Amino acid sequence: MTKSITITLKVWRQKSASDTGYFELYKASDINPNMSFLEMLDVVNESLAASNQMPIAFDHDCREGICGSCGAMVNGVAHGPVKGVTLCQLHMRSFNDGDTIVIEPFRARSLPVIQDLVVDRRALDRIITKGGFISVKTGSAPEANNTPIRKKDADLAFEASKCIGCAACVAACPNASASLFVSAKVSHLALLPQGHAERKRVIAMVDQMDAEGFGGCSNAYQCEAACPKEIRVENIARMNREYTRQKITQ
């Protein structure tokens, strides 16, 4: 039989974007170590609702590490202490009985807090609309062998395409840079022949990133360490090369 644990939560509470916010302490008892972190928050929220208190607001959707909706700083680490997982994939067995866990939202000027742990990620969406797509007719899937792609390029493009836009890279970066996010979106299209026709996308996307107020990359590598999909920083170098190439040729 799995032994339950009791933990203390120090949670950031903020009623709205205009509120100053504060930390609130909660005791979470009888927590099954096999629960996910979000399931633990569900249990806490049920208790708060039962006592007519405002539940903790947090983002979630698929709870399978796919959508990129969930995300928070757990003891100062984006998505928590386990490498390569989203917050919904973090399990309470990663903590010990009696632990105090500090939970706060991702912090960045370009990701303003909406309520509690919920942040506004629309800045990332606006970057994508500037060029994170290809303007081709889709229709039915073509024969794969009609468009030969080197395996190395296909593998690199696939690795970059795993980015789910969770913004952990921004939260982990000391400069609040979105370079890893943007570079992943630029790379997975720039590496494939379908994306070559619109390679100037990098200029529009980088310019939009700057306009949104994200900081610049200073090679701290915290973005790669925090990324739940383990996107590599070499994509940032590729983005910089793409940007320089397009600036020279435009």
Q: What CATH number should be reported for the domain holding residue 23?
A: 3.10.20.30
Check residue 138 and give its pLDDT: 62
Give the model confidence (pLDDT) of 178-225 as tens digits: 999 999 999 999 999 888 889 999 999 999 999 999 999 999 999 999
Final residue before a domain boundary, out of 65, 80, 115: 115
Whether 127 and 216 map to the same domain: the answer is: yes
Q: What is the pTM of this model?
A: 0.93
Nearest alpha carbon to residue 86 among 123, 130, 37? 37
CATH number for the domain that contains residue 238:
1.10.1060.10
Q: What pLDDT score was predicted for residue 237?
A: 97
In this predicted model, what pLDDT tens digit does every residue of 95-147 receive, in sequence order?
999 999 999 999 999 999 999 999 999 999 999 999 998 887 766 766 766 77
150 pLDDT higher than 70: yes
Do 179 and 134 fall into the same domain?
yes
Residues 59 and 140 in one domain: no
* pLDDT at residue 242 greater than cutoff 90: yes
C-alpha separations of 71 from 77, 207, 226, 228 in Å: 10, 26, 11, 10
Do residue 110 and residue 134 come from a single domain?
no
Indicate the residue among 115, 147, 166 that finishes a domain: 115
Residue-number span of the structural domain to which 81 is assigned: 5-115
26-53: pLDDT as tens digits:
999 999 999 999 999 999 999 999 999 9
Give how many domains the chain has, as a whole number. Answer: 2
CA distance 130 to 60: 26
* Residue 68: C-alpha distances to residues 131, 164, 189, 204 (Å): 20, 5, 20, 23
Q: Which of 51, 84, 115 is the last residue before a domain boundary? A: 115
